Amino acid sequence: MNKKFSSLSISKEMLNNLNELGFKEMTPVQAESLPHILQNRDVVVQAKTGSGKTLAFGLGVLNRLNVKNFRVQSLVLCPTRELADQVAKELRKLARFQHNIKILVLCGGMPFGSQLGSLRHGAHIVVGTPGRVLKHLGKSTLSLENIETFVLDEADKMLDMGFSEDIEKVISYIKNKPQTLLFSATYPDEILKLSRSIQNDATSIKTVSYDSENKIVEHFYNAQVDEKVPSLLKLISKHRPETTIVFCNTKVKTEEISDALLEAGVDAIAIHGDLEQYERVDALTQFSNRSCSVLVATDVAARGIDIKDLAMVVNFDVPHDESIYTHRIGRTGRAGEVGLAVTLYNNYEAREIEFYRNETRLFESLEELHRVKDFQIKPLNMTLVIEGGKKDKVRAGDILGALTGDAGLEGKHIGKIDIHDRQSYVAVNRSFIDEAHDKLKNGKIKGRKFSVWILK
């Protein structure tokens, strides 16, 4: 693979500017994606922050730009204002090779009037968040009639934050078929579905190297009935996973284990078939948005759970057959990460366990586990519940704007946003949860007051 920028079909002026900026060789994501991007092909790229993806799509955007046509020709959508500002800053550096290229940032939490004035003066490239871009489109202060390149940066983060509907609405304003560049750190089903719906025969590029099968380290410990809870606590204190699913075979057991973990200082929620629907939604939402560290579940209740970066799966009870075992542990070790699966079995289950023995699974002694003294585990986030949702025309962008605007929080402190018909759930860094709650409780969203509480 040729890593020299000189191997690309770009202008001498652009090449000289890259050299002046200190870009000597392409990163893997640039080397793999740029030949396709510069041929005006759609791409869907898996690349993490810091991989050089902004330069990859930035060169594509600038290479296609007609500076004499003073219209918005490229739109870059980002999940947060901070990322949009960062992307715009990098694009301005890349655009130094030619005068008069205007790049405009449109994000929530910033005065609408000043953005309106900037739009009236014209721009070539708009970088923004979905909610604010959609607001300008709705007021006809922004036109996408001349869009040649459409970029979705950190698309998985945008979907996590509840922007799927806003993205679809933004796309509805694009009447022609632009080149579409989709960048995502992970490849969940929602990303592949989005790619199929908006891209034309997209080239798939994965610069995060991993095997087709999940990488999972499997441990087995012989633990008698009265040893299982202490062993589980030792496992959690040893590995300190951010997210763990503990599988039990019965509903009663999930409640018992969840209570035992909470009593020991480990944040946990039980989920099983006897829960009311709202209780199930609350539990799954808190676990998926990192407001709960441990989910204790039955197999039936855990169906459909797809948690990114699930660190550990524990079989507190041995599954009834190996297919269930495979399904359980397959939830960890995704997207190139190494997963951890632990099975606790007692003497009554020892005969079943013999079928699991092979050269890769590790059968170890409980004596190797030692619980860290005074260990507690608290999740990164807490969840705010807003008594307003889709039926109230509340969108993720409205909530994000209220928190980053009047409330003054930074986008990096706000996690996943889930919008339901009559309620919305917002993950907020636990250090800022009280501030966010007070601001929303005493403030307004879209000019309206909504009841707000902290989900515990």
> pLDDT: is 234 or 109 the higher one?
234
Percent of the chain scored above 70 by pLDDT?
95
Give the model's pLDDT for residue 336: 62
Q: What's the pTM value of the predicted model, to 2 decimals?
A: 0.63
Question: Distances from the Cα of 265 to the Cαs of 258, 294, 379, in angstroms?
Answer: 11, 11, 11
Give the model's pLDDT for residue 218: 94
Q: Which SS3 state, helix, strand or coil, does residue 261 take?
A: helix
Among left, alpha and beta (phi > 0; psi -120 to 50; other), residue 248 is beta
Give the model's pLDDT for residue 304: 55
HSE on the CB side for 291, CA within 13 Å? 25
The type of residue at 95 is A
Strand order in the sheet with 294-297: 268-271, 294-297, 244-247, 312-315, 338-345, 215-222, 362-364
Give the model's pLDDT for residue 405: 77
pLDDT of residue 74 exceeding 90, the answer is yes
CA angle 122, 126, 132 (to 5 degrees): 105
The string of pLDDT tens digits covering residues 271-282 is 987 888 788 889
Give the model's pLDDT for residue 295: 95
Give the model's pLDDT for residue 257: 96
pLDDT of residue 407 exceeding 70, the answer is no
Give the model's pLDDT for residue 211: 37
| Top-ranked range on mean pLDDT: pick from 63-77, 186-200, 322-336, 349-363 | 63-77
Identical fold for domains 5-206 and 381-455, yes or no, is no
For 153-167, 196-210, 218-232, which range has the lowest pLDDT when averaged over its residues?
196-210
Q: How confident is the model at residue 112 (pLDDT cuts 50, 70, 90)?
A: confident
Domain ranges of the chain: 5-206, 215-368, 381-455
* Average pLDDT estimate for 38-52: 87
The string of pLDDT tens digits covering residues 329-346 is 888 886 567 889 999 999
pLDDT of residue 414 exceeding 90, the answer is yes
Q: How confident is the model at residue 209 (pLDDT cuts 50, 70, 90)?
A: very low
> pLDDT: is 302 or 149 the higher one?
149
Cα 129 to Cα 400: distance, rounded to the nearest angstrom: 10
* Average pLDDT estimate for 365-388: 87
Percent of the chain scored above 90 by pLDDT?
57
The string of pLDDT tens digits covering residues 282-319 is 998 999 899 999 999 988 766 656 676 789 999 999 98
pLDDT of residue 49 exceeding 90, the answer is no
For 110-124, 166-180, 300-314, which range has the lowest pLDDT when averaged over its residues?
300-314
Mean model confidence pLDDT for the chain: 89
> pLDDT: is 50 or 20 the higher one?
20
* CATH 3.40.50.300 given to domain 5-206: yes
For 82-91, 178-187, 247-256, 403-412, which range has the lowest pLDDT when averaged over its residues?
403-412
* Average pLDDT estimate for 388-408: 86
List of residues 6+ apart from 259 with CB closer than 8 A: none
Give the model's pLDDT for residue 210: 37
Residue 389 has which token pair? 């949702």
* CATH 3.90.25.10 given to domain 381-455: no
CA angle 371, 377, 379 (to 5 degrees): 155
CB 278 within 8 A of CB 387: no
Q: How confident is the model at residue 269 (pLDDT cuts 50, 70, 90)?
A: very high
Q: Which CATH number fits domain 215-368: 3.40.190.10, 2.70.98.30, 3.40.50.300, 3.30.300.30?
A: 3.40.50.300
Q: How confident is the model at residue 33 (pLDDT cuts 50, 70, 90)?
A: very high
The string of pLDDT tens digits covering residues 4-19 is 999 999 999 999 999 9
Cα 431 to Cα 349: distance, rounded to the nearest angstrom: 44
pLDDT of residue 359 exceeding 60, the answer is yes
